[in-house]
Amino acid sequence: MGFYVFLVVIMIIVCVLLGLIVLVQNSKGGGLVTGMQSSNQFMGVRQTADFLEKSTWTLAIVILGLSLISIFAIPSGQTNTEDSRVKKYIEESGYEPIQTPATPIQGENNGQ
């Protein structure tokens, strides 16, 4: 159970990061790249676009991998279903189900 919770927390963090990176990008080539017009910067305009694209793909692959790993970490539920709980309650209470006939009883007032 602990490993599953850990995976879920990591997946949420990765999803938030992916959302932020996608929001920084602009579909027309702007976004964070547009604000970097000076020549004395650490990363150039093209490197920033490449970094954002690579990080988007990397985070998407990480989410896919974590999703596949979480399949094996999902805690298996108990075999007690709601139906078996109801049956257990009925058995404990002592009530007996009413037996009804499969076919109606033939009598005087059967609609004929």
Measured distance CA(50)–CA(95) in Å, rounded: 71
Looking at the structure of the chain, the number of domains it has is 1
Indicate whether 55 belongs to any domain.
yes
- Domain assignment present for residue 68? The answer is yes
Question: How does DSSP classify residue 31?
Answer: B
| Cα three-residue angle 84-5-23, rounded to 5 degrees | 125
Q: State which residues form the domain around 6.
A: 1-24+44-75
What's the chain's length in residues? 112
Q: Whole-model pTM?
A: 0.53
Model confidence over 69-93: pLDDT tens digits?
A: 988 888 776 555 566 777 777 777 7
Question: What percent of the chain is modeled with pLDDT above 70?
Answer: 63
62 occurs within a structural domain: yes
C-alpha atoms less than 13 angstroms from C-alpha of 49 in its C-beta half-sphere: 13
Whether 33 contacts 64, CB under 8 Å: no
Average pLDDT of the chain is 75
